[in-house]
Structure 1
Amino acid sequence: MANEPLQLNLGSLRSAMSLTLHTHHASRVWHGRAAAEGRPGIIGLNGYISMMNKMKRGAEQDDPYSDWWMLRIEDKLADTKTRLQTLREQVDQALAGVPPALSLGENLNVQPVKLPLFINAQLGFAAVYLLADYDDLARKLILAHHTALIDRSTLERWLNDGAHAMRSLFSLAQQYRYSGTTRDDFAAKNEAARAAVEKFGELPQDVLEGTRRSRFAPPVARRDGRSESSAAPTAVDPTSNTIDGPADAVARDEDATE
């Protein structure tokens, strides 16, 4: 009786998440724009998050192109953050022109919009943080214009620069496609690998070999349904009778979190 394994009937992790936006400018970046006659559609944050979830699943399935895309998106996120930071420094410099005798409070919407978040990919969250930064930047820009610290053309130019940086990130993500291949296909140099190279182009060798992956790349699921991990102590999967490595348990918890 004492030697019987302990059965833990744990459920999935859940965390209620939402994003509060105060400006129409940030809200438009969130929603994007539907295509219309003579006017192409613009992908929003929702569409970007969907692509990141697909990209993460592709990387889990050992698709080297998905890994390459995750690296490209990671670089683009860093570039977008830098662009927004430059704009923030410019508006902070403008707001520094307020005389000491004048006190300016936070420029907040009396009825902000609260948007629920359902994200399974870390690169999706990274873009949410950038949108929150853009919303804060827009609030400060509008305040700077209202208090005569910047003119209308400067307001519109800086708002457009920030929105363009975000949409450029989303547009890059929109180009992602799952190749349907694995690194085993490339090792075998089979028809699937040749077709993927013809369609998607050559990959850097370190990405193809799996030695360079995104900081947020998921463990690769092996054909037996388990995830690859380095030699490490095992952990019991509480939902089954199998033995998994710690990376497996982390991946399950992350994917179950919304």
Structure 2
Amino acid sequence: MAQPNHTPLGTLRSQIQLTLHTHHAIRLWHGRPQAGDLHGILGLSGFVAQANRIHRDAAADDPYADAWLLRIEAKLDATRTVLLTLREELRDALTQAPSALDLGDNLNTAPVRLPVTVNAPLGFLALYLLADYDELARLAILAQHTALIDGLTLDLWLEEGAHQLRSLFSLVQPYRSSGVCRNDFAAGNAKASHAREQFGELPQSVLDGSQRARHAPAIRRSGSGKNTGAAPVPSVVDDNGVLDQSLIEEHRP
């Protein structure tokens, strides 16, 4: 009888790329580095790096990271609602075209394809929103080109969508790891006291783990015998909230 093959498996990997057709969406991907008096703006690439880091900290049983995941999910939901409203307004405008006229999809002849490295579900949710905005932008540009909306309406729609995404991305910019876990709070040790002084009090439901984000990771406590399998993800901002452009570059094409 043949012996079963016990060759160890490697890890699953997929090559994910994001295709963007508009300069408006590409600018939101990259963000803007700080330059002199011009403050930096976190783009999707920087948001993903921070989301990966928060996800890792939440997996290590950091209740402050769990609180951040709840904030991010709420902001993602609110942003999606606004983008859906803008899309419905755009669809109403596009229905004004005569049925005999096929406007097409207004795709770029040379779109930009960006490699994506996302370790956290919230990063993917933000990625989907940027893809939705790219679609919204190219269809709104088409609507303006075909006289279904005027230039002012186009600018208002594009700016409102971009503002919502910039607000989402900048939400995570101040995040810093607390370095504590729930066991520290249970023990009432100095690390927990220091974290409270730096980051404030947490709702009891977050502190005891009964309230967690929908996409929160499984908690891997030290001594459980489980390996996190993930290397620490550095912050893309320093303690003063300034973007570290060298780390953002790692997420660029």
Partner of 1:170: 169
Q: CA deviation at 1:39?
A: 1.1
Hey, what does 2:120 align to over in structure 1?
A: 121
Identity, % of aligned positions: 56
Unpaired runs of 5+ residues, structure 1, are 228-247, 254-258
**Distance in 2 of aligned mates of 1:211 and 1:131:** 31
Aligned partner letter, 1:21: L
Q: Give, in whole Å, the separation in 2 of the partners of 1:214 and 1:226.
A: 24
Runs (4+) of structure 1 exceeding 4 A deviation are none
Taking structure 1 as the reference length, the TM-score comes to 0.84
User: Residue deviations 1:111-131, cap 9 Å, x none?
Assistant: 000111111111101111000
Once the two structures are superposed, what CA deviation does each residue of 1:209-254 show, in whole Å capped at 9, x if it has no partner? 0111112211222222534xxxxxxxxxxxxxxxxxxxx7xx769x
3-state SS in 2 of match to 1:166: helix
Cα offsets for 1:172-205 (capped at 9, x unmatched): 0112221101101111112211111111111111
Q: Which moved more, 1:214-223 or 1:168-177?
A: 214-223
Give the CA deviation at 1:100.
Answer: 2.0
After TM superposition, the score normalised by the length of structure 2 is 0.86
Is the partner of 2:42 in helix, strand or coil?
coil
- 2:134 maps to 1:135: yes
2 CA distance for matches of 1:223 and 1:132?
38
Structure 2: which 5+ residue stretches go unaligned? Answer: 231-253
Quote the Cα distance in structure 2 between the aligned partners of 1:149 and 1:201. Answer: 51
- What CA distance in whole angstroms lies between the structure 2 residues aligned with 1:103 and 1:62? 54
Q: Distance in 2 between matches of 1:168 and 1:193?
A: 31
Aligned residues, how many?
Answer: 230
1:43-64 deviations in Å (ceiling 9; x for gaps): 0111000001100110111110
- The structural deviation recorded for 1:37 is 2.0
Cα shift at 1:71: 0.8
Q: Which residue of 2 aligns with 1:192?
A: 191
CA distance in 1, matches of 2:193, 2:5: 49
Cα deviation 1:96-148 (Å, max 9, x = unaligned): 11122322111000000011111111110111100000000001110011011
Give 1:83 deviation, angstroms: 0.7
Give the Cα separation in 2 of the matches to 1:131 and 1:5: 46
Q: Summarize the alignment of residues 1-258 of structure 1 with structure 2, pairs less than 5 Å apart.
A: 7-224=6-223, 226-227=225-226
Alpha-carbon distance between aligned partners in 2 of 1:8 and 1:211, rounded to the nearest angstrom: 40
Distance across 1 between alignment mates of 2:174 and 2:149: 37
- Farther-moved stretch of structure 1 (216-225 vs 75-84): 216-225
Query: Superposition RMSD on alpha carbons, in Å?
Result: 2.0
Separation of aligned partners in 1, 2:152 and 2:121: 36
SS at match of 1:174: coil
